[in-house]
Amino acid sequence: MNEIEYCEEVIKSELEYNRLKEIWPSWYPVMERMLDNRLEMSIVYKEIVNKYGYPRKIENDSVWILFEVLWQSKNEFSQKNIQSIKDTSKELSKIHDKIIQSSRDLCAALERQAEILDTDDFRPVNRLDAPGLIDSSGMKVDRYGFVQPSMTKLFGEYDICYWPSVINLVEGIAEFQENELQPQQLTLIDEVESGRKSLFKDFVLLLDDCITSNRYIKGEFQFSNNAMANLINVVLDLPPETLATPEVVKNIRHKYK
């Protein structure tokens, strides 16, 4: 069995298994195109085998993990998915700012409410305090009943002056959001997230990064420019007039190294 036959057997067995279990249907077209384009994929197969040999899955699963990265790359690194992640990141930033402003507005409203209720003109039926808020919120949690007796005992042991006010709790939300760094976006590297949209650039940089950062792919590995160009053309099913070339891949890697 040579490199091509070995890798094609890996693809065929995984495709058959996935279909049998009805899992990862989005991978099927990519797997089928790899099998249909033996000539273009031969350099890819040879580079994989030159690095990892002919292991069985139980001996070294780097080959299988690497192939899984390739099979999912069409969807994961598509311009549609990249744009969706960018849009979600922007939305998350707006939500962050909105939470801070909403918390501040709620604090101001609670403070004004307290001022009014402290006058002789109004008498509240009940005043909301932190223990009451925690207890009423806890009732919405299925397992709160297990800790409610202990919480009730704790609330009863200390006067209300020892507990934060509801306003303090809301202020805590605003302060947390203000001091918290923006969540780290894990899928897109900076050059893709902040850069201009580019089919080839985004695919090359994301695939290189995905392979390098995957702890289950053992050792350092990177496809050659020739292999990467063929992968782009097969995985993305590009028409002849828009095919990627090794020179294009080389220029991308040189510019963003």
Please report the pLDDT score of residue 223 as a whole number. Answer: 97
Please report the pLDDT score of residue 161 as a whole number. Answer: 87
Claim to verify: residue 193 and residue 155 sit in the same structural domain: no
Question: 107 with 174: CB under 8 angstroms?
Answer: yes
**Which residues have CB under 8 Å from 113's CB, separation 6+?**
none
Global confidence as pTM: 0.73
pLDDT, tens digit, for every residue of 3-30? 999 999 999 999 999 999 999 999 999 9
Claim to verify: residue 158 and residue 203 sit in the same structural domain: no
Please report the pLDDT score of residue 121 as a whole number. Answer: 86
Claim to verify: residue 199 and residue 232 sit in the same structural domain: yes
Please report the pLDDT score of residue 130 as a whole number. Answer: 85
- Kindly report the three-state secondary structure assignment for every residue of 77-135: CCHHHHHHHHHHHHHHHHHHHHHHHHHHHHHHHHHHHHHHHCCCCCCCCCCCCHHHHHH
Claim to verify: residue 10 and residue 72 sit in the same structural domain: yes
Q: What's the domain range around 154?
A: 130-164
DSSP 243: -
Is residue 86 assigned to a domain?
no
pLDDT, tens digit, for every residue of 132-144? 888 899 999 999 9
- Given a cut of 70, whether residue 100 has pLDDT beyond it is yes
Claim to verify: residue 143 and residue 200 sit in the same structural domain: no
Averaged confidence pLDDT in the chain: 91
pLDDT, tens digit, for every residue of 161-204? 888 999 999 999 999 999 987 776 667 777 787 768 889 999 99
CA angle 36, 40, 43 (to 5 degrees): 125
Please report the pLDDT score of residue 82 as a whole number. Answer: 87
**CA distance to 6, 190, 211, 232, per residue, from 30 (Å):** 18, 27, 18, 11
Claim to verify: residue 148 and residue 28 sit in the same structural domain: no
Is residue 250 assigned to a domain?
yes
Claim to verify: residue 204 and residue 153 sit in the same structural domain: no
Is residue 149 assigned to a domain?
yes
Question: 164 with 130: CB under 8 angstroms?
Answer: yes
Q: Where does 3-61 have alpha helices with state H?
A: 3-21, 28-36, 38-52
Please report the pLDDT score of residue 198 as a whole number. Answer: 87
**CA distance to 77, 212, 214, per residue, from 69 (Å):** 10, 11, 9
Please report the pLDDT score of residue 219 as a whole number. Answer: 87
Please report the pLDDT score of residue 58 as a whole number. Answer: 66
Is residue 181 assigned to a domain?
no
Is residue 134 assigned to a domain?
yes
Claim to verify: residue 206 and residue 247 sit in the same structural domain: yes
Is residue 125 assigned to a domain?
no
Is residue 52 assigned to a domain?
yes
Is residue 96 assigned to a domain?
no
Number of compact structural domains in the chain: 2
Burial label, 249 (beta-carbon count in 10 A; 0-12, 13-18, 19+): buried
Please report the pLDDT score of residue 186 as a whole number. Answer: 64
Q: How far apart are CA 23 and CA 33, in angstroms?
A: 18
